[in-house]
Structure 1
């Protein structure tokens, strides 16, 4: 991450969409995080283990979200301030960034993640000067791929048996969008 990119993320810790506020994750989000991180079905495609207690959610917030908060956001409904998931923009070397996200399944199917991801892509291209933004998902998790398609990402390929997830090797699909493609949207 370049210095000006860190400044851009620091200047954009609070973002808005039509229905969402994207803000830093805080310790008081532990209950909301635990609601989906303790659900085996929700986390089966994610790299972290199921949270067995609320304490694990507090630890995750402290060690991941608070230890290095830039580019990491809680998704909060404007209407009632409910925290429904998280999304992050991880800036790599060479003006390339990765998006990662998780949504409480009680809120899936309503376009919230696509809405948040579009806003994060805008941040990456317009404020952080990214040239490419990509994301990846376990091919068994088609919903995640649909989000990537909705935000203008194109399939780039599948790496077979390339990621160990919950004790088994998974095929991982990569999607990406280039700055010139974003500009044409």
Structure 2
């Protein structure tokens, strides 16, 4: 009998990398989230506006992260047990998912997002049996595109997205993706 997708995700609720632990978010993470989500430099490249109050961070955790906790992880630094960002597999379908992340500006350019995304790519293709993963970034944030390329994704084009349930602003975005075939070719190297 094969394992359900929910069981496979539950078995991966904690994922360890060299510098980080991916784990479930809780309300105890509200202050750490507020620290980076209130930064306009972080928010300008995301689908959310800068958090103005700690309550906004609490609401984000309670309404966005906790209900879908099997596909959303806190990025916690091992060296200080501080939650410095989030990474998730949004809009999961029978055969694909979309990755998304936000990280404190203090940790930009250190390779942390690529480090924590790699085990999720492996999880998506090797354990969950997905055939495609995607990600998008604000066109004015090419650093996220470089992260996507580092984890094996290819540029697929640009699009314009308008506000949705968890998104408060319209964005011009660049799309990246990877298929299972792409992943298998990379894994053979």
Q: Residues 131-167 of structure 1: CA distance to partner in whole angstroms, max 9, x if unpaired?
A: 11110111111111111010000011112x4435865
Equivalenced residue count is: 181
Q: Any runs of at least 4 consecutive aligned residues in structure 1 with deviations exceeding 3 A, and if so which?
A: 161-167
Where structure 2 has 5 or more consecutive residues not aligned to the other structure, the ranges are none
Match of residue 162 from structure 2: 163
User: What TM-score, normalized to structure 1?
Assistant: 0.91
Q: How far apart are residue 177 of structure 1 and its match?
A: 0.7
Asked if 1:130 corresponds to 2:105, the answer is no
Q: Deviations over 1:101-150 (max 9, x none)?
A: 00101011110011011111111111111111110111111111111010
- Equivalent residues in 2 for 1:84-99, closer than 5 Å: 84-99=84-99
C-alpha distance in structure 2 between counterparts of 1:63 and 1:91, whole Å: 15
Q: CA deviation at 1:92?
A: 2.7
Is the partner of 1:84 in helix, strand or coil?
A: strand
Name the CA distance, whole Å, in 1 between partners of 2:38 and 2:85. Answer: 13
Which whole-Å CA distance do the structure 1 matches of 2:95 and 2:29 have between them?
Answer: 31
Q: Provide the aligned C-alpha RMSD in A.
A: 1.7
* CA distance, structure 2, for counterparts of residue 64 and residue 108 of structure 1: 23
Q: Which residue does 1:184 correspond to in 2?
A: 185
SS of the counterpart of 2:137? strand
Deviation, 1:91, is: 4.8
Residue number in structure 1 paired with 2:71: 71
TM-score, structure 2 length as denominator? Answer: 0.89
Rounded Cα–Cα distance in structure 2 between residues aligned with 1:14 and 1:155: 30
Q: Are 1:174 and 2:151 an aligned pair? A: no
Which runs of 5 or more residues in structure 1 are unaligned? none
